[in-house]
Structures are given as C-alpha cells and as structure tokens.
Amino acid sequence: MLGRGPILAAARSPRVRGLVTTAPVTARVVRRFVAGDDDTAALAVAAGLADRGLTVSLDLLGEHTTDRARAGAATRAYVALLDRLGAAGLTGSVEASVKLSALGAAIDPAMALEHARLVCAAARTAGTTVTFDAEDHTTTDVTLGAVRDLRRDFPTVGAVVQAHLRRSEGDCRDLAGPGSRVRLCKGAYAEPAAVAFTDRRAVSASYARCLGILMAGAGRPLVATHDPALIDLALRLADRFRPATAGAAPAAGGYEFQLLYGVRPLEQDRLAAAGHAVRVYVPYGAEWYPYLMRRLAERPANVTFFLRALRGQRRRDHGFFAPPEAIVPGSPGGGT
C-alpha cells in the first residue's frame, strides 16, 4: 500500500490533480471533508455543529499564495467571514483558523503579518479569536514568530505545534506559558527525516511528550487528534494536571479536543456528551485540492478506495465511502 510521502508527492503532479479534480466521484468525497464553497455554507455547517454542543474553527481554504492581490483578497475574505459570524451570533462558539501562507507569507512576511493583524482585529471586534495553522517545516519559524508578535496585542491568538517535527518539544516548552492556546497535532506534511520523525510510533511518542509538557503547563492545550490512544492519554493527563476542568465545562485554562470535520463524528459527540470541550475544524472554499490530498494521504486505505471508484468499480461498503461513523479504533489504518 502507498505511504503518505509518495501520495503527497503524486498529488503535486498536474496530471493527478487534473484526474482528481474532474472525476465525478470527487464531489462526494470533497463534501465529506469540506463544508462547501462559500461562507454561507460554512456558517450553516458551523451552526449545525454548535447545535450539537460542538465549537468550530473555520478555515478558508487556500495556501502558498504567490500573488499580492490574492493575499489581500484572502485577508478581506476572512474579515468578511468574521463580520458575518458576529452578525449571526456565532462567535461564542466559532473561531477562525488561518494559514499565514494564504495571507502572503511566502511573498513578504511583513505584509502577511499586517494582514494577520487585520484578521485578528476583526476577530476581536466580532468577539472571537484566531489560530494560525502550522504548514511545512520551512514556515515554522515565521509562523510561530508571527504568533508571538500578534499575541502582544491579541493575547488569545493560538499557535499550532506539529509533533512530528523534532524541534516541537522545545516549541511546546516555549509556548506552555499562561494564557497561551496551543493546538498540538501530529503534522500533515511530508517532511525529511532530518527535521521530522517519519515512523508512526515515533510521531505518537513525540506527541505524548509534547502533550505532557502542554498539560503540565499553564496554557490551554488544544488536543488535535483522532488517535484513540492519544485521546485516552489526554484524558489521563487532564485528570492528573487539570482535575478542576477534566470532564467538566472548560474553565480558564482548561483544555479542548479538536477533530476534523468528517472524521470520527461519533467520537466528537461522545467527548462532548462526556462534558469535554470539543472543537471541529471546518474547512470551506473552492481551493480544496491540497487539503483533500492531505486527508487522503493520512489514511492510505482511502486512496485505494478512491482509485477503485475512479476506475468505476463497484462501491465498497466500508473504508473511505462508508459512513464516517465506521472510522473506529481497530478499523483499517486505526490506532497510532
């Protein structure tokens, strides 16, 4: 079976991109992971999740912008989204997730930081906040530097740490101070062994170490994983380090679980029903291709099913095309 690296490498080929984006089966697959093409669709999904007791982080898809006009347009689109969230009364439960590269970091980091300030100011006016996604390792210093800078004026701005990067324990120590919100994920990008753990067990072990640092720290760990073993570990660490907030409504500090839209929805509801704060990361927008390919690559069985569907073979009643509830510990690709 193909591994994550080769899948992500193949995804960069224009031929593969053409094949995937024009295949009739793709629309159904995209709908599972992406809320829709515009902010009206995103708001409708966010409102539905809020009705289920879940909070939301909305991500306007688009990344690695190499054009100033597009970076400006992405900034204005986020500001407009935040205005609409405020008007819809959703900012109590919805924040924004932003990729600095969508705001132009690859062209001009200073311009991207100014754009980020505009987005953070719009979030504050609307009564919510922003988390800056982690992208590939070449961007980590610029993104974490921008978050540090922004937090002086917007203290609730969140950072993201990718456990697969070898540097991340140190980043967690730097970020574990009072008031800091840190999303800990495994990392979705194919990285060289020089900077990242490439073995799944080593990534999970790094995640566990990083989580220990964040839970023992003074900030709010945002536990972004679907991995049952790591969710269990987070619950145990929360019992030990945060007894006042474990299993109860989140207090100042506290912690929250974060899962992706379309992945393990029953687990999202189970955690919320047990009283834990749960946030669902909801992407929307037309530029879904790289996001979808990262989701496919995370679970190579998905690719097999996708290829079969592309070849017009009979739909299989499990795996990628099964209802999302079928994704449970022990299913193909399950566990750490």
Residue type, 105: A
Q: Which of 236, 238, 261 is nearest to 250 (CA)?
A: 238
- Residue 125 or 222 having the CB closest to ligand FAD: 222
- Residue 11 or 160 having the CB closest to ligand FAD: 160
Integer CA distances (angstroms), 275 to 246, 253, 271, 327, in order: 8, 16, 7, 22
Residue 143 burial by Cβ neighbours in a 10 Å radius (0-12, 13-18, 19+): buried
| Contacts with ligand FAD, 91-130, as mask; x by CB under 6 A | ----------------------------------------
Q: Choose, by CB under 6 A, the member of 63, 133, 191, 256 that binds ligand FAD.
A: 133
Q: Choose, by CB under 6 A, the member of 197, 255, 281, 321 that binds ligand FAD.
A: 281
Which residues in 99-126 are b (16+ Cβ under 10 Å) and which e?
A: bbbbbbbbbebebbbebbbbbbebbbeb
**Residues forming beta bridges with residue 283, ordered by sequence position:** 59
Catalytic site residue from 4, 39, 59, 133 = 133
Contact 142, 109 (CB under 8 A): yes
Catalytic site residue from 183, 220, 264, 299 = 183
**Taking CB under 6 A as the criterion, which residues in 27-56 touch ligand FAD?**
none
Contact 79, 42 (CB under 8 A): no
Residue 218 is encoded by which pair of tokens? 């003074």
Segment near ligand FAD (CB under 6 A), from 19-27, 139-147, 238-246, 292-300?
292-300
Residue 18: other Cβ atoms inside 10 A: 10
Site size with ligand FAD, rule: CB under 6 A = 30
Q: What's the sign of the alpha-carbon dihedral 150, 152, 154, 159? A: positive
Whole-angstrom distance, CA of residue 307 vs CA of residue 99 = 29
Q: Which residue has the tokens 């709908």?
A: 31
Give least dist CB 302 to ligand FAD, A: 6
Residue 335: other Cβ atoms inside 10 A: 11
Q: Choose, by CB under 6 A, the member of 98, 276, 295, 306 that binds ligand FAD.
A: 295
- Of all helices (H) and strands (E), which one includes residue 223? strand 220-224
Q: Is 183 a catalytic residue?
A: yes
Residue 67, Cα to own-chain centre: how many angstroms? 24
Give least dist CB 205 to ligand FAD, A: 13
**Taking CB under 6 A as the criterion, which residues in 152-181 touch ligand FAD?**
160, 162
Q: What's the sign of the alpha-carbon dihedral 307, 311, 313, 315? A: positive
- Residue 68 or 316 having the CB closest to ligand FAD: 316
Segment near ligand FAD (CB under 6 A), from 60-68, 166-174, 218-226, 248-256?
218-226
**Taking CB under 6 A as the criterion, which residues in 225-244 touch ligand FAD?**
225-227
- Residue 32 or 70 having the CB closest to ligand FAD: 32
- Residue 9 or 83 having the CB closest to ligand FAD: 9
**Taking CB under 6 A as the criterion, which residues in 180-209 touch ligand FAD?**
183, 185-189
Q: Choose, by CB under 6 A, the member of 56, 85, 159, 259 that binds ligand FAD.
A: 259
Active-site amino acid positions? 133, 183
Contact positions vs ligand FAD (CB under 6 A) = 133-134, 160, 162, 183, 185-189, 224-227, 258-260, 263-264, 281, 295, 298-299, 302, 327, 331, 333-336
